[in-house]
Homo-oligomer: A and B are copies of this chain.
Amino acid sequence: MGAMARAATTSDAFNAIAEPQRRDILALLRAGERPVTELARELGMSQPGASKHLRVLREVGLVRVRGVGKQRLYGLDARGLRPVHEWVGGFERFWSGSFDRLDAYVQDLKQERQGE
């Protein structure tokens, strides 16, 4: 019951994709299933390293595994990214087009003043 640390990487997709190498793995898997060793080689990481990242991705459901002989083929299951996309999308109007930085700034100010 003492202090807390950062949330586990396995807690949700947001945490899982915070790690660059895991994002690389997901991106690579868009091209199709891959066995661990191949992933490791293509991404320049150690085999244990790849396995560990894959474990995290598996625990949040972003990849699934399929045993084929000695190999374990990892495949993408991007459904878990949808909530992330939607959450971030909720900010789209704040970065797109006519709403440049200064505009947004001023807008916010106006809104703020009106509220009081």
A residues within 8 Å of B by Cβ? 6-7, 9, 14-15, 17-20, 23, 26-27, 30-33, 64, 73, 75-79, 81-82, 84-85, 87-92, 94-95, 101, 104-105, 108-109, 111-112, 115
The prevalent SS among residues of A at the interface is helix
Give the copy number: 2
Contact partners of A82 in chain B: CB under 8 A: 95
Contact partners of A64 in chain B: CB under 8 A: 105
Q: In the assembly, what is the distance between CA of A56 and CA of B33, in Å? A: 36
Q: In the assembly, what is the distance between CA of A19 and CA of B79, in Å? A: 20
Residues B108 and A32 in contact, CB atoms below 8 Å apart:
yes
Task: Offer 26 A-B interface pairs, CB within 8 angstroms, sorted by A.
Answer: A6-B6, A7-B18, A7-B19, A14-B17, A14-B23, A26-B91, A27-B90, A30-B91, A30-B94, A32-B108, A33-B112, A64-B105, A75-B104, A75-B105, A75-B108, A76-B91, A76-B108, A78-B95, A79-B94, A79-B95, A81-B88, A81-B91, A81-B94, A85-B88, A85-B91, A88-B88
